Structure 1
Amino acid sequence: MGGRTVVVGGGIGGLAAAIGLRRIGWEVTVVERARVLADVGAGISLQANGIRALDVLGVGEAVRAAARPQYTGGTRAPGGGWLARMDGAVLERELGTPIVGIPRAVLHRLLREALPPECLVTGVEVLSVDCSDPGRVRVPVEERLLDADLVVAADGVSSRLRGQLFPGHPGPVYSGSTVLRAITEHPVPLRTDFELTWGKGAEFGHIAFTDGRAEWHAVLNSPPGTRYSDALAAMRRRFGGWHDPIPALLDATRPDAVLHHDIHELATPLPTFTAGRIALLGDAAHAMTPNLGQGACQALEDAATLAAALATEPTVESALTRYDAARRPRSQSVARAARQAGRMGQQLTHPLAVALRNTGLRLAPSGVTVRAILRHANWAPPSLR
């Protein structure tokens, strides 16, 4: 089965879906509202499930070559003591690939390079689609209508198309946390590939990259919409007394490099990821908190699964039924687990609760951390044939 599809949204999930659909012979147009098609986020960790999805899509090797494996690190307290260590070598033996860290902009570029430039349309926002004909979907793009056999709604947490398809759904809600992040301007000496540090209502973490630079992020309990006149200075005040290398990471950052976003999620699960000939994908379908590092990985799983369903099912309708059955239970389960991880991790503020959590982590056998990661990362991708 082949056909014509319009992918609404040129982020990681949308580009991955476009790559997968082209691999199975579909004609694809990606429509992105931004004029410059580039992900300006900071850094990202990809676990084995995300890497396996990229392998199915044919871009796994390119991503591995640009990424830094995460073999060392774990979770610490603000004074520097270890709460739990991560053994990346064990994870690699179990899963066949390590967790890797990569700048989001690099990952986005590699996905773009896997697509011909002519299939990318930028600077156009799709506000709605015409679903009146059950056999096709019409998508307004600039001053023309594109006829599509399938539309992939990958337009993010604030998806316009999700709002059209599910007008009674409450949509995204504020998680209670806000995140500031940046990539350092120059290399920083680091002893680990990846770390998280948990304090009271706050988390600071870093991801090391191949060129010696690093991404850092700070997650804070905060009222929505809180902003700082000098975000970097605010982070120095909040985290300057925490263990090394946190002060060094902040010192290596330009003030104008700090990004600040409130974290929203779909706390109310969608009843389905499909409607007619439209499939929701990534944050549009299951926006989750970042506490498990699974948001992008789940979007990549969506892309591989959708392509496999369309490659092997006889009709678009049966393929979307299969896609929904495969993706909705798993991604919504991961979203619930991410929310719970945030409540038990970064969002805890009561001193007794924090102390009990830290003691439990210190006393837990080393295999607990490995099993926690395997629970979500050990996913087998479907074949596109």
Structure 2
Amino acid sequence: MRIIIVGGGIGGLALAAGLRRHQFEVSVFDRDHDIAETAGYHITLDGRAQAALRELVAPEIFERLLGSASALRLRPADALWDRHGRLLGYGPNLSDSPSVDIDRITLRTILADAAAADLRLGRAVTDIGRTADGKPTAAFADGSVQECDLLVGADGTHSVVARHLAGGPTNEPAGIVGFSGRTAAEDLGVSERQRLGPRSGMAIGPRGAALYIGYLDPVGNAVLDAPARREAITTGPTYIWGAMFPESAAIESMRGTRGAALRSALLTGFRRRGWSERSLEVLTRADPDSIAAFRFNAASTRSQDLAPWPAGPVTALGDAVHATPPTAGMGAGAAIRDAASLVTHLLEVAAGTTALTVAVSGFEADMRVRGSEILTQAMKTVRWIRATDTPLGAALTATTTPLLAATNRLRRRS
């Protein structure tokens, strides 16, 4: 069985690695020329995503991943702040969490090594078709065409493959634009390092502005005490943050800005919404070259709306099907689980116990449930942020957060 994967992101590479491990004939094509051409947050992999990766990659590859990851169980509980940096409360205890955090670039690099020669960079797929006998074909930007027995779209939110299958977009803007960046903990002042601590946190203010501050330390909070296995691009305590604003003409114009100018525009956006300088220090001290903008897109939360096409020799996974805002930290993990599910179903085809269409149908049914689950969680936070951009929501946020902060101070004193 010849398989083509369109897209070399996390889901596509995980699928390629799993298929290669089981001796399938597979090629994964990606438009990027360098596997490190990616940005965004660090990635959280829960226990289910890690179990899926164990099925997909060889033990030595999985150990490299753990050797470059940060353990959530070694972190204090996440914090919730207001726009003035006042503590509102804490999230659940993480001491029993099996989840790990890893840089997106690090994970993508390790998975690319697992895919090895099956990965073809600098090859953009522009269209999908069929041969006279019904086999899928992929047309490339250079004019070449390749055919296969199964074609899988792992090409993200703006998937060529999923759009071909669905006859249109499979997701829509969620109403929020995000901006991500990195700030070394050592670049912050002493008081701000003490306030933020070795934990992740979230701050939400009126008029739809929010700031997520993720804490990543693959050295101090290493999953494995194996320095020789450490490949993380993050080499010390780092805050990898995400700023969020409701879509508007002014915010949209910022997406074309880069570097120090973009950092300055972000700070202005928060200041106009009444955020204190204290709560913005992590942005002020950020590496300007690390800052990138991206729109939140989301598929339907209804499982029956996902993968709305008849099962056949062309399918898709990950954000191509269930595009998920990063507000639940589960999108990449779900794509990995999609990949493991598809490999499991294809092994039945290889064993001769089921037909390809039946296997794809079973995979897509599993994926619809999984996609609906993670989208429902992610959209709760998106709706919360958007609710603060209404007159009532802005007023409630402005009046209730000081009360919550005061209540939290009294609770801590008692």
TM-score by length of 1: 0.82
Q: Which residue of 1 aligns with 2:410?
A: none
Offset, 1:339: 1.7
Which shows bigger deviation, 59-68 or 133-142? Answer: 133-142
Q: Which residue of 2 aligns with 1:208?
A: 215
Counterpart pick for 1:79 among 77, 81, 84? 84
Alpha-carbon distance in structure 2 between the residues aligned to 1:145 and 1:331:
31
Residue 154 of structure 2 aligns with an amino acid whose one-letter code is: A
Q: Is the 8 A contact 1:154 1:281 kept in 2?
A: yes
Residue 339 of structure 1 aligns with an amino acid whose one-letter code is: M
Counterpart pick for 2:394 among 341, 351, 369? 351
Which shows bigger deviation, 103-112 or 179-188? Answer: 179-188
Please state if 1:303 is matched with 2:336. Answer: no
Percentage identity across aligned positions?
25
Alpha-carbon distance in structure 1 between the residues aligned to 2:300 and 2:146:
33
Alpha-carbon distance in structure 2 between the residues aligned to 1:208 and 1:340:
22
Q: Which residue of 1 aligns with 2:229?
A: none
Taking structure 1 as reference, are residues 360 and 18 closer, same or farther at Cα in structure 2, changes over 3 Å only?
farther
Counterpart pick for 2:284 among 251, 257, 266? 251
Q: Is the 8 A contact 2:215 2:239 kept in 1?
A: yes
Q: Is the 8 A contact 2:16 2:118 kept in 1?
A: no
Counterpart pick for 1:193 among 190, 196, 199? 199
After superposition, the CA RMSD in angstroms is: 3.0
Offset, 1:53: 2.1
Q: Which residue of 2 aligns with 1:145?
A: 145
Q: Which residue of 1 aligns with 2:228?
A: none
Alpha-carbon distance in structure 2 between the residues aligned to 1:331 and 1:321:
15
Counterpart pick for 2:247 among 195, 199, 222? 222
Map 1:279-290 → 2, pairs under 5 A: 279-290=315-326
Q: Is the 8 A contact 1:39 1:108 kept in 2?
A: no
SS in 2 for 1:158: coil
Please state if 1:155 is matched with 2:162. Answer: no
Q: Deviations over 1:252-301 (max 9, x none)?
A: 32333210112222248335366421121111111022221111111111
Question: Aligned residues, how many?
Answer: 355
Please state if 1:339 is matched with 2:379. Answer: yes
Alpha-carbon distance in structure 2 between the residues aligned to 1:45 and 1:193:
15
SS in 2 for 1:130: strand
Residue 354 of structure 1 aligns with an amino acid whose one-letter code is: T
Structure 1 unaligned residues grouped into runs of 5+:
363-385
Q: Is the 8 A contact 1:273 1:324 kept in 2?
A: no
Offset, 1:75: 2.1
SS in 2 for 1:175: strand
Q: Deviations over 1:136-165 (max 9, x none)?
A: 322234454333121110111111122222
Offset, 1:192: 2.6
Taking structure 1 as reference, are residues 133 and 326 closer, same or farther at Cα in structure 2, changes over 3 Å only?
farther
Q: Is the 8 A contact 1:272 1:328 kept in 2?
A: no
Q: Which residue of 2 aligns with 1:375?
A: none
Q: Deviations over 1:303-336 (max 9, x none)?
A: 1111111123433222111101111122123213
Alpha-carbon distance in structure 1 between the residues aligned to 2:318 and 2:404:
31
Please state if 1:56 is matched with 2:55. Answer: yes
Map 1:83-122 → 2, pairs under 5 A: 83-92=88-97, 97-98=98-99, 100-116=100-116, 118-122=117-121
Offset, 1:89: 3.2
Offset, 1:11: 0.8
Residue 226 of structure 1 aligns with an amino acid whose one-letter code is: E
Alpha-carbon distance in structure 1 between the residues aligned to 2:400 and 2:56:
40
Offset, 1:205: 1.4
Q: Deviations over 1:4-37 (max 9, x none)?
A: 2111001111111111111222111111112223
Q: Is the 8 A contact 1:77 1:199 kept in 2?
A: yes
Counterpart pick for 2:265 among 226, 230, 234? 234
Counterpart pick for 1:28 among 13, 26, 43? 26
Residue 61 of structure 1 aligns with an amino acid whose one-letter code is: E
Larger Rg: 2
Alpha-carbon distance in structure 1 between the residues aligned to 2:400 and 2:24:
50
Q: Is the 8 A contact 2:43 2:329 kept in 1?
A: yes
Alpha-carbon distance in structure 2 between the residues aligned to 1:289 and 1:283:
9
Structure 2 unaligned residues grouped into runs of 5+:
188-192, 218-235, 406-414
Offset, 1:135: 5.8
TM-score by length of 2: 0.76
Q: Deviations over 1:60-93 (max 9, x none)?
A: 432222122232223222233333423453442x
Alpha-carbon distance in structure 2 between the residues aligned to 1:248 and 1:178:
21
